[in-house]
Amino acid sequence: MAKSRFQYVLPDHRVEYGVEVELDSLKIDEDAQRGLNPKRAKSIADGLIVEALGSIVVSERADGSRYVVDGMHRTEACRIRGLHTITAEIHYGLTQQQEATLFLIKNRESAKVSTLDEYRVGLTAGDVLCVSVDRVLKGHDLGLGSSSRNSVGAVSAVLRITKQYGPEILDRTLKVVQTAWGRDKESWDGVILGGVAMFLGRHGSQIDDDDLAKRMLKRGLAARWRSEALTRASNGGYNNSGTGSRESQCYQMVKESWNKGRTAANRID
């Protein structure tokens, strides 16, 4: 099973199991977990078997308020069906940040949680990786999660770049790409970001970023880069068509652009 990119730590605290709680007493803090999907809740409600619900996870804060940490859709399904109580595992004395961490712990092996949800909740939990990514993106006035001129849709790529090479390389990558092609959703493509970051991560100390951006632009716009990287990867056969191969091909294209017209002594091997 793949190792999680996030780190999870919780303090010792009191937990009670099998507690019947009133649905009307439960609140949702969407900064500490994913957003509610009404269609999913309705689907659960339509096929609800009360005896098979299991326990939801609830945090009772210092002021006595109770927040659903895990089981939000089951909770909403019970409300739809007109039920009044649900069985819960109650955690006492956690902060909002610790609730977010608990959510990640409960869902780290689950395919239900998207990378974007895990990133967003990781911010609330104070995860170092998430906080580093957020700081760099804000420095570029960029969001994360949708593809537009002001938001990067390649969530996994941004997290992977930062984890592998550090926030400095993410920062330089975004600067190079924007200098080359401006702010556009094509510029923030994950294959391109991954290829440029790989190049800067390996050879960054030898690179002038502005010069690199100019050389990349001479080769063509971002859409052409992505298309060429995909074509190169596909020509390598079925087993070479994955994200890693496409990013590697983009890396080769960045290296070719940097080396073009340089003497052997100044080329990067």
**Greatest CA separation for the chain:** 76
- How far apart are the C-alpha atoms of 70 and 99, rounded to whole Å? 10
Tell me how long the chain is. Answer: 269
- Which tens digit of pLDDT belongs to each residue from 77-135? 999 999 999 999 999 999 999 998 898 888 775 556 688 888 988 899 899 999 999 99
Q: Are 179 and 212 in contact (CB under 8 A)?
A: no
Whole-structure pTM value: 0.67
| Nearest in space to 159 (alpha carbons), one of 183, 204, 190 | 190
- Which tens digit of pLDDT belongs to each residue from 173-198? 999 999 999 998 999 999 999 999 99
With cut-offs at 50, 70 and 90, classify the pLDDT of residue 234: confident
Gyration radius of the chain over CA positions: 23
pLDDT at 7: 61
Beta pairing partners, 16:
90
Locate tokens 């009404």: which residue?
38
- 150-168 mean pLDDT: 95
pLDDT at 52: 85
- 21-36 mean pLDDT: 88
pLDDT at 149: 92
